[in-house]
Each structure stands twice: as structure tokens, then as C-alpha cells.
Structure 1
Amino acid sequence: MFKPSNAVLLNFDVERLTVPSGKSKAEYSVPNVKGLKVVVSHASKTYMFRGVFDGKKISTTLGKYPEMTLMSAIQVTDEYQHLLAKGINPVDQKNKVESIPTLSSYFHDTYLPFAKINKKSWKDDLSRFKNHIESAIGHLQLNKITAAPLNDLMLQIKGDNRSNATVNRSRALLSSIFNQAFEREVIDSSPMSRVKKLNEQNHIERYLSDDELCRLMHVLGNHKVYQIDNEIIVGIIEMLLLTGARKGEVLNLKWSDLDEVNHLWKLEENKSGKPRVIQLNTEAQLVIRKMSRKYPYVFANPTTSLPYNDIRKTFQKILEAAEIENFRIHDLRHNFASMAVNNGCDIYVVQHLLGHASPTTTQRYAHLRQDTLRNASEMLSDRIKSARPSI
């Protein structure tokens, strides 16, 4: 790389360059730096690169003085000359780089439209981008974002007293964005390979004990005694408990999804993107029959005729009445899986009850209680004992 001598820098003073009398502007060549010019007008001084590519003259603006120093202009010019030597048009290269969108522009114009078509959780992506990412680095061009500000961003998200899982979801979103940009040849590589995933302390396995289940069913069956008047949300909780379905699946259940003759619930799409059928047990059928057929949705909010947006307040009130602590709505699905396994259901059967694509996922939910493990151990002990020869 060309290194200008101190003499070049000392003898060429951009500050002293002026416009000759009677002219509106003038152009000066920087000594010993091929292609670097300074265009001086009464209003400004601008560094320009001029050269020849494929027999044609090319030129481009490098920057304005004093925002750009002479040394910086020389270094850029040197880089451009190296590109010319390799048969690359530096002006085209510059225009290509300058046209690379900012992270916000790329997300809203390219990534999000794709996600809306291909991801059921695209609204989560939008919320996560707006809440955790956009204000911090959204203004930066994709090619200017390196691992350093990304790692700083992860620390910032974590620093707001959020879990490692929340940080990792933001990291996963950024990985998807940069990978897509790489595949579309917008950038040459993704910086996310140098942004480490945090270790997640998974939620403590939580399912209902026999006593808790009895208390919960008592409250659900006598909800008005506990000033819980929303029978529809009570029905939703019962449905979640009885089917192991996801909250969103129950909330969006339509009458048209039901085959009431064969007691089937047909889910055209679920989290895995594949259709599946839920066999409705007798108790689930009874819950459904209590609901009004006035609306398209089985568990419709009568105020809007649409699904409920949030059932957490009523759910929490039910838990308080049943004296159950540290239990989430999603734990009802976990509880369903645990009860199935502990009552002798094969893991493959539980996998299909929950609609998992892989039994590995099911294992996360299927908690074997100590008494189940103890009984299995005693059974094996008895089998071994029976083989022991009598003395």
C-alpha cells in the first residue's frame, strides 16, 4: 500500500487552496498521489478520485474537507488504484457498497415480507425487532455491522433483566436476517458467527401434583363461588388441561374445525406447519358443548366475536383460588404430557398427542414422577429376585 511521505502532507495544505479570481471553482491534483484531486469552490472543498477503467474515464466523490482528512483521502485513493490493477471498477464497487441497505430497511422491506409468508411467528419477529434491536443498530448498513456492536447489543438486552432465552431469541432473529442477506448476496458474510449463544436455564419442570389437580378442578367446577364469572375462559383452561393443545390453538378453534360425529379436531396448521388431528376425549367434548354457537370461534369473546387476546388475568385468579404457585399457562401442556407418560402412554403416542415432529421435543415435556420411577425399579427388582435360586 502506498505510504505518502511527510513532505507530501506538509507541502500540500488543503486549507490554503483557493478559487482563482473570476472562476467559480478550481481543481488541484495532490502531488505524487495518482488519481486524487481536490475540487475547491467558494462554498466547499471536495476530494475526488479520477481514473480510467476499460478505456473510459471514471470519477467519484470521496468526501469533503475537513470531515475527511487528506490522509484518509490518500488511503481510499490507494485502495481504488489497487482495485483498478485487479481489473475491478472502484466506482462500481463503491456504488454497490453504498447501496447496501440499513438493517431497518432490509428488515422491513425484504425480511419481514418473506417472514409473513413463511413464518407463523412473524409477529414475534416484528415485536422483537422493534423492542430490542431497531433503536440500537437499525440505522447501520448491513455491511457495517460487525460482531462487536452485536455482542454489545446482546449485553444490553440481557442488562434489562431479561432471561438468556430472550437474548437468544433476538440473536436467532438477527442470524436469520443476516443469513438471508448473505444468501441474497447483499453482504459477503454474516457477523453472527462470532456472537455466542447464551446458556439457557430451562424453566423448572412444573406439573400438577395430585392435590393441586384436585384443587384446580374444584375451582374450575365451582368458579362462580370464587367470583370467577367468565365461563368461556374457564372452558379454555379446561380445554388446555384436557387436550394438551397450545394456547393459540385453543383460542383460535372454530366450529368448522370440528368433526363432532367422530369427535375430532382438525388442525390445518400448527407450530410445526403440518396439519394434525386431535382426538377429543369425553370431557373435552362436554366443554365444547357448553359454548355458544353464535360465533365462528368456539371460545369467542362475546364482546368482539373474536378470540380472546389475553386470558392471563383470569388464569391467575383461578390459580390463586386453587392455591397453586409458579405455574404458567403453557405448563398445562407440560402437565398433559407428564400425566400421559406417568399413566403408561408410550412416548411415541404422547408425541402424536402433542403434535410434535420429533420425540426428542416430547421428552422435554414428559416428566416421570418419582413414584413412577420407583415402581418401575421395584418391578425390575422383583423380576431379578424371582430369578435368584433359592437356598
Structure 2
Amino acid sequence: MPTARLTKRVVDGLQPDDKPYITYDVDLKGFGVRILPSGVKSWVVEYRPGVGRGVAKKRMTIGSVATLTADEARNAARDILASVRLGSDPLGERAKARDAATVSDLIDQFLSDHVEPKRKPKTAELYRHVLNAYVRPVVGKRKAVDVTKANIAKLHHDLRDRPYLANRTIAVVGSMYSWAGKRGLIPDNYNPANKVEKFKEDRRERFLSVEELERLGAAIREAESVGIEWTVDESKPTAKHASKPGNRRVVISPHVAAAFRLLLFTGARLREILHLRWEWVDMERGLLLLPDSKSGRKAIVLSAPAVQILSELPRVGDYVIAGDRADKPRSDLKRPWAAIQRRAGLDGVRLHDLRHTYASVGAGSGLGLPVIGKLLGHTQVSTTQRYAHLDNDPLKRATDTIGATIATALGDGTASGNVVGLKNAKR
């Protein structure tokens, strides 16, 4: 093996041969310059990872002679050899980095190995949408280990006009990285979504008033009896083919009407009603025994009106709310709800708001949040806490008592009911 003190003059004087060869530096063991038959010259360093001569040598290219001086290359080789003495394997780490999974790789594996088999369909749909629509286009080509908290914070910030979506995106990315760390696909505890400050979400809670419930009930009765008239956009070319005004009515089936009423009388989620099978209905005990729901196994306690609805509903197939096919559940209630919503003048009211209404009536009646939480199937107390401001009957009675006592002491003449004089009040 030829050796020399590798300076610019010496390296410039090295001539290509029929085969590649290396000239090693006499001062730094393992450091050398490789000359190819084409005349291209590159700085290299050789080392043995681990301990002992039984370990095979590795050769690592530092850079081209055209771009690095001899001193720059020697210093780089010295740093590499120092890291090897500390137990590192620079060439192996470079190969590992080159082969490391990209974010897109992580997304594909996360969805196929974890989300699809272990998450409920609606949750899996949300994960797929967030990862494919917002995460993959922005950081999909990056190595998963190269994504920083700043990258994820920017992604979150760019979705600031949709705070709910922005926060869900952070949660999904965090879940993906946590899963990848447990699987050994990335270093454990490496998660760029950690501690990204989330946007404040204004919960959209709509509760129907008594007057709105009356309008809703009238609209449902009209829809299932004579039908609700639909309007035609006369400006469209197809308008001339529409039915005459007197014949423009849509009648909903008794099953669709029952679905709306059951949503109100049970506080159940939409899918819990649409996917409800007759075999899960226990009329004798007044229960819906759901084997699976958003919160797992769940029993819904039926009120007397709900039991009556179910007892009068025709049985068509396996599902309580019959759809087009007896062996499949109805997919949604969008079109009939839009007609009823419009007829009742409930603009902006969602089907999920019927669940909120059920809870609000219970909270306003002083039933207590723990009871309401059990009726709704909440597993977290914090979920039911959103209705706390409606549970005001005890506070109202308390403030009325205090106010009446003070008013009596003041001789205001406005107090009524049981009043405790201040002198006789317990201190």
C-alpha cells in the first residue's frame, strides 16, 4: 500500500492507474486518498467498528479532492476516527439514516397496522383524512426522525382558521409518533407533536327550546303524514320537468320519523340508532343493550315514550331503523333532516344537537351531572361537565333563599316564601 504525507502537491501529483488504488497518509492512520482510473480523486477513511482485528474494516468516503483541502479532509477523518474510538459506527449510521422511514412510510404503516384493525370506523376515517390531506403533503417526504416540533407547530398554525381540525391533526400526529416509537421505527420518546400549544375550541352546543321542540314535533308529524313540500329553483333548466306545486311533497317513512324521535328521547348518538338491531332491544326491561359504541359496551335506559315508539314500529329486517336493504343499516338521515329542519325553521341545528337537547333538559331539571353522564354513556366526567352551566336549580334555590333573607332584613317588602331572619340564621 503506497503511503505519503498527503499534501496538495503530493495529491495533485498522483496519477490514475488501470485499477482504483488508495494512497494512505503517513501521519494519520486510516486516512487516505482514492484515485479512480478516470482520474477522480476522493478523500477516504478506514476504521474497524468495535474491538478486535476480527472485525471487518469499513471504508467511508469523506468528500472530493476538488471540494475539500487536505487539511479539511484530515480534520474530518480525525473526528470520524475519534467517534469510532467512542463506540460509534459512522458508516453504519449514515446507511441507517439513508434507509430511515419517511413520514409517508410511517403513515402507511400506522394506518394499515394500527388504525384500521384497532380503531372504530369513524375514528379510522378521521385519521386517514387528517394524515392524507394535511400531514402527507407537507412533511410526507421528510425522514420521520428529521421532522421537528417547529415543522408540526407550523402545520398546526396553518390550520388556525379551523381550530378543531388543527388540534385533531396534532393529536393524530402525536399518536402516530408514539406508536412508531413503541414499534422501534423511530427512537423512543421522539415525538415532534409533544407540547405544541393547541387552539382554544369554542364548543358548538345548541339546545332546542320548548318552542323549538314544538315546531320540530309538528314538522315530523307533517312529514310522516301529508309530507313536506319541497321548493324548485325555477332558474334551472330542469325546473320545467318538476312536479306541479301541489304535488311537491316528500313523505318520510315511519322508521325515519322514529329515528328522529329516538334521538331526542334517548340522547343516543346517530350511529347508535341507525345501527341498532332488534336483537339488542330489551322491551321487558326497557333497555338498548349495545355490544359496541364509541365508549364500548353500553346500555341505554329507555323512557316510556321511547318504549312506545319501539313497540309501535313495524319490524322490517334486522335493523330497527329500516333502510333500503333489510340486511344493512340505513347510512344517514341527511335529506329527511334537511327537509324537517327547514320546515321547522331550525337553521344550523344538527342531528347531534338532539343529543345535547336531551342532556340539557336533564341538567336543567336538576338531575345531576353524574346521572346525565351515565344516561349518555360518558366515560369521562369532563365530557359531561359541558352541561354544568345548565345544572343551576340548586344554585337558583340557594340564591333565592339568601336574597329573600337579606330583603326581609332590609324591610324591602319583596321577599316571599320561607325566609330565615338574620338574627335566627346559623352563623
Q: Which TM-score band applies after superposition, normalised by the shorter structure?
A: 0.7 to 0.9
Q: Distance in 2 between matches of 1:312 and 1:19?
A: 80
Q: Which of the numbers 134, 141, 149 marks the counterpart of 2:151?
A: 149
- Between 129-138 and 373-382, the greater mean CA deviation after superposition: 373-382
1:328 pairs with one of 312, 330, 350? 350
State the SS of the aligned residue for 1:222: helix
Shift of 1:166: 0.7
Match of 1:287 in 2: 309
In structure 2, relative to structure 1, the CA distance for the partners of 1:330 and 1:147 (3 Å cut) is: same
Are positions 1:58 and 2:57 aligned together?
Answer: yes
1:346 aligns with 2:364: no
The aligned counterpart of 2:176 is 177
Where 1:192 maps in the other structure, the secondary structure is coil
- Letter of the 2:262 counterpart: M
> C-alpha separation between the residues in 2 aligned to 1:154 and 1:32?
53
Per-residue deviation at 1:168? 0.8
C-alpha displacement of 1:170: 0.5
TM-score w.r.t. the length of structure 1 is 0.81
Give 1:184 shift.
Answer: 3.4
Task: State whether structure 2 residue 250 is matched by structure 1 residue 248.
Answer: no
SS of the equivalent of 1:266 reads strand
Task: Give the CA deviation at 1:76.
Answer: 6.4
The one-letter amino acid paired with 1:40 is L
Give the structure 2 partner of residue 236 of structure 1: 259
> What displacement does 1:256 show?
1.9
How far residue 200 of structure 1 moved from its aligned partner, in angstroms, is 1.9
SS in 1 for 2:288: strand
> What is the letter of the counterpart of residue 268 of structure 1?
P
Change (3 A) 1:378 1:288: same
Is residue 113 from structure 1 mapped to residue 113 from structure 2 by the alignment?
A: yes
CA deviations on 1:110-138 (whole Å, 9 max, x unpaired) are 46422334332223212211111112212
Within 5 Å, give how 1:165-314 maps onto structure 2: 165-185=164-184, 186-192=186-192, 196-223=196-223, 224-226=227-229, 227-231=249-253, 232-273=255-296, 275-289=297-311, 291-303=313-325, 305-314=327-336
For the residue of structure 2 that corresponds to 1:284, the secondary structure is helix
Does 1:25 pair with 2:58? no
Q: Which amino acid aligns with 1:238?
A: R
* 1:204-245 residue CA offsets vs partner (Å, 9 max, x unmatched): 432011111111111112111344433343332222111111
Kept in 1: contact 2:16–2:38 (CA 8 A): no
Aligned to 2:124: 122
- In structure 1, the gaps of 5 or more residues are 1-7
Aligned to 2:337, the other structure's residue is in SS state helix
> Aligned residues, how many?
376
What is the deviation of 1:258? Answer: 1.4
- Report deviation, 1:249: 1.5
In structure 2, the residue matched to 1:85 is: 85
The CA distance in 2 between the partners of 1:202 and 1:75, in whole Å, is 58
Counterparts of 1:41 and 1:292, CA distance in 2: 88
Q: Which residue of 1 aligns with 2:240?
A: none
* Aligned counterparts of 1:50 and 1:40: Cα–Cα separation in 2: 17
> 128-137 or 309-318: which moved more?
309-318
AA in 2 matched with 1:150:
I
Q: When the two structures are superposed, what TM-score results if normalisation uses the length of structure 2?
A: 0.75
Unaligned regions of 5+ residues in structure 2, if any?
Answer: 1-5, 230-248, 409-418
Within 1, Cα distance between the matches of 2:14 and 2:154?
A: 45
Q: State whether structure 2 residue 356 is matched by structure 1 residue 357.
A: no
CA distance 1:134–1:309, shift in 2 (3 Å): farther
**What's the secondary structure of 2:390's corresponding residue?**
coil
Counterpart-to-counterpart distance in 2, 1:115 and 1:169: 15
Q: Deviations over 1:158-178 (max 9, x none)?
A: 3xx4x2111010101111111
What is the percentage of aligned positions where both structures have the same residue? 22
- For 1:377, the equivalent position in structure 2 comes to 399
8 A contact 2:366–2:392 mirrored in 1: no
Aligned partners of 2:369 and 2:387 also within 8 Å: no
2:220 match: secondary structure: helix
Q: What RMSD in Å do the two structures reach over aligned CA positions?
A: 3.6
Q: Identify the structure with bigger relative contact order (alpha carbons < 8 Å, sequence gap 6+).
A: 1
Secondary structure in structure 2 of the residue aligned to 1:265: strand
Distance 1:189 1:76 in 2: 31
* Displacement after TM superposition at 1:303 (Å): 4.8
Shift of 1:380: 5.1
Q: CA deviation at 1:284?
A: 2.0
1:315-344 CA deviation, whole Å, 9 max, x = no partner? 232221111133222221111111011123
2-side partners of 1:37 and 1:335: how far apart? 79
Query: CA separation in 2, counterparts of 1:240 and 1:318?
Result: 14
